[in-house]
Amino acid sequence: MQTVVNKVSYLKGETEVAPDKSISHRTVILSALAEGRSRVKNFLEAEDTWSSCKCLQALGLTIQKQDKELIIDSPGIDALQEPARVLDCGNSGTTMRMLAGLLAGRPFMTVLSGDDSLNQRPMQRVITPLSMMGANFMARRGNYPPLAVQGGQLQGIEYHMPVASAQVKSALLLAGLQAEGVTAVLEEHASRDHTERMLMAMGAKLEVKPGQVRVIPGAKLSPQDWEVPGDVSSAAFWLVAASIVPNSEVLLKRVGINPTRTGILEVLKQMGARITVLDAQTIAGEPVADLLVQSAPLQAVEIEGEIIPRLIDELPVIAVAMTAAQGVSVVRDAAELRVKETDRIAAICSQLSRMGAAIEATPDGFIVDGSKSHIQGGTVDSFGDHRIAMSLAVAGLIADQSTYINNAEAVNISYPGFWDTIKILSR
């Protein structure tokens, strides 16, 4: 599908962004641990999260939509059943990696597969530590899905993460709940901590310290009533758009501002963005607030080190902000972008270049000269990556001519209402 985006004079109004994708996945996967009924308010209804639902249904959960809630009935982790067919994770790396951890301790064999994009994403990062714990895996070329998991009796380990990853950390915590002895996960840079917060709410015994999480198995977990906040990764598109489109003022309602996810706010404020946090509160263990963003002149910035895991998903749209900033911006230490749904470094640099940006890819990031960038529009491609599609759309809002985005349907992976929100805020 091709979608056309035209330059707008302003963005004004208020909107609720898409529900948090990371938390929505976890409400379903973690609910499998506890026998009984869990309820989820504001569940993200998107392709990725439905992939998690379908996989858990194949393992024996009953999941249904009832009014505005998702109702999840689980037989409990010890009663999960061996699936009769390959579990299709679609485009969702979160689904595959977290299920690898969940299934590592189950006494049966499961095969996890996905679409063409997911089946090109490396899985060694979960295979290695889960194998150390006692699970058995088979994978294509030892690293790529389809991924066969033969679960069994696990032993707790201490594992130093070579790269910060909430998906891998979550997989190890899920396996650790089923292991003999303590499992400790150590990170040099903190990744998002939704799994830890949610497991503790369910009654799991976790010890969380800076750079380390320890899980002590044996605690009885309870089903929960979850409420999913707005996704700060989805809010990022409007934070950037309203900053770079003149005469804009947008209020984003009920956005999750978990400190492990708010690198986007810190970077945009460093660039000079006018963002005000309003009505901060805590809902279901997660900090939530309204975000008011107003257009402002932006300045170049350099991003590297510990902040990268806290804004890894937002880097494509940050690249768009950099094209509108005065001076030369640099992103380093973000090689992880090359093994996402696409090689996001190559994708965003090649497509923004086609639109007129002065952007250069590096092995672990990119360099953007905002002073020499002039977004003109043209025909670009998302390569089936939802975040690339939405980032290019934001660039199109300031382009001199129309922007034609191929494979624009990719937004349905995480934000089905994205195109409608553009229309609402620009009318």
For residues 392-418, average pLDDT: 97
Nearest to 99 by CA among 41, 26, 46: 26
pLDDT in tens, 102-134: 999 999 999 999 999 999 999 999 999 999 999
CA-CA distance, 378 to 142, in Å (whole number)?
41
Cα atoms in the Cβ-side hemisphere of radius 13 Å centred on 236: 32
For residue 341, what pLDDT band results from cuts at 50, 70 and 90?
confident
Indicate the Cα dihedral angle 167, 171, 172, 178, nearest 10°.
160
Question: pLDDT tens digits for 133-149?
Answer: 999 999 999 999 999 99
Paired residues of 63 in beta bridges: 72
Q: What does the pLDDT average to over 227-237? A: 97
Q: Find the helix or strand (DSSP H, E) in which 222 lies.
A: none
Q: What is the pLDDT of residues 193-222, one digit of tens each?
A: 999 999 999 999 999 999 999 999 999 999
For residue range 30-60, list pLDDT tens digits in order. 999 999 999 999 999 999 999 999 999 999 9
At residue 286, what is the residue type?
E
- Give domain 2-19+229-426's CATH number out of 3.65.10.10, 2.60.40.10, 3.40.50.11540, 3.40.50.2000: 3.65.10.10
Confidence (pLDDT) at 53? 98
Tell whether the model's pLDDT for residue 285 goes beyond 90.
Answer: no
Which residues are catalytically annotated? Answer: 313
Q: Do 2-19+229-426 and 21-227 fold alike per CATH?
A: yes
The per-residue DSSP string of 69-118 comes to EEEEEE--GGG----SS-EE-TT-HHHHHHHHHHHTTSSSEEEEE--TTG
Query: Cα–Cα distance between 126 and 132 in angstroms, integer?
Result: 10
**What pLDDT score does 253 carry?**
97
d(CA 136, CA 148): 8
**Band of the pLDDT at 283, cuts 50, 70, 90?**
confident
Question: What is the predicted pLDDT for the residue at 284?
Answer: 78
- Domain residues of the chain, as ranges? 2-19+229-426, 21-227
| CB contact at 8 A, 390 and 397 | no
Tell me the average pLDDT of the chain: 97
Q: Is the pLDDT assigned to residue 347 strictly greater than 90?
A: yes
Q: Is the separation of the CB atoms in 248 and 233 below 8 Å?
A: no
pTM of the model: 0.93
What superfamily does domain 21-227 belong to in CATH?
Enolpyruvate transferase domain (3.65.10.10)
